[in-house]
Amino acid sequence: MSLLDTIVSLQVLESVKVAGDDYPTRPSLLVNGVATLAAAVFGSAFPTTLYFGHMAHKSFGARAGYSVLNGVTTMLICLTGVVPLVLHFVPLAVVAIIVIWFGLAMVGQAFTEVPKNHAIAVCFGLIPMLASWALELLDLGVRKGGSSLFAVADSFGEEPPIYGLIAISQGAVLTSMLWAATLAFTTDRRFFRAALWIFAGAILSFFGLIHAFQLTPQGIDTKIGWCAAPEFAISYALAAIFLVVCHFFTRRPKSIALVEMPQEVLQ
């Protein structure tokens, strides 16, 4: 969670920069980490992160006071134990809509603030997150039916490819970054950089940070260790080799252009 939290914080800082506010990375992450440690002292098991949806907050006119007011309000609600009372009068779906709005604003920013030819890379990067969402829906449906994915996974066959959904959803944030960056650099014909990004996928797969899992009666467990997802590691490595070959192929000297011969000579 700490690794993903750091990566998401870096993504938020990049989004903030695109929105016109360039905050320095080191103090931002440092305060974020100190807040996480302070929360842990009081028993919190969850790392803090930077505000998601900065552009949406800014469009609403929110400034530093919004963060203070939000923190004080959240603290008072939690310390007084009125969360059940609030949810009794305000359905969770109503509260969650603001988070959905921030998410939509971030997705919209991802499409509008990149070069037009990179839009396909943005779409490609959404696939792991959509797979993770689809897996959650399937898991919820199966559990509501009184069973588990462990019991019914084999019966799905290829409709849907349940094991593929599980593999892609593992480490979806990292996979999304790798896929989007690789396709963006490939579109720009910067094959060597694309190879570096896709080779990072081979390393992460090898150690189980992405794609590796164990399906147990208790649910889906992350499988971290040596050679945790060998099939994916090999596939990423082969893709990296292919892109390196493309790099050297495009860097080779151009053939000498033929000089147009006069019509008299050709005759």
Give yes or no for residue 74 having a pLDDT over 80. yes
Q: By the 8 A CB rule, do 51 and 67 touch?
A: yes
Q: Is residue 33 part of a domain?
A: no
- The pLDDT-based confidence of 216 (bands split at 50, 70, 90) is confident
% of residues, the chain, pLDDT over 90: 22
Domain count, the chain: 1
Give yes or no for residue 63 having a pLDDT over 50. yes
Q: Is residue 159 part of a domain?
A: yes
Show Cβ contacts of residue 99 under 8 Å, excluding neighbours closer than 6 positions: none
- pLDDT for the residue numbered 260: 53
Mean pLDDT of 158-163: 81
Give yes or no for residue 181 having a pLDDT over 70. yes
- The pLDDT-based confidence of 256 (bands split at 50, 70, 90) is very low
Mean pLDDT of 198-203: 94
Q: Is residue 179 part of a domain?
A: yes
Q: Is residue 16 part of a domain?
A: no
- pLDDT for the residue numbered 148: 81
Quick: pLDDT tens for 3-42.
777 888 888 888 788 777 788 888 888 888 888 888 889 8
Q: Is residue 109 part of a domain?
A: no
- Does an H or E element contain 216, and which? strand 213-216
Mean pLDDT of 116-139: 89
Q: Is residue 36 part of a domain?
A: no
Q: Is residue 59 part of a domain?
A: no
Provide Rg for the chain, Cα atoms: 24
Name the one residue in this structure whose structure tokens are 């899992």. Answer: 213
Tokens representing 81 are 């134990």
- pLDDT for the residue numbered 198: 94
Q: Is residue 77 part of a domain?
A: no
- pLDDT for the residue numbered 235: 94
Name the one residue in this structure whose structure tokens are 């997150």. Answer: 129
Rounded to whole angstroms, how far apart are CA atoms 174 and 11?
Answer: 11
**pTM, two decimal places:** 0.74
Give yes or no for residue 208 having a pLDDT over 60. yes
Question: In terms of residue numbers, what domain contains 147?
Answer: 117-250
Show Cβ contacts of residue 147 under 8 Å, excluding neighbours closer than 6 positions: none
CA distances for 253 relative to 204, 249, 257, angstroms: 35, 9, 12
Please say whether the dihedral angle defined by the alpha carbons of residues 165, 166, 167 and 171, taken in this order, is positive or negative: positive
The average confidence (pLDDT) of the chain is 83
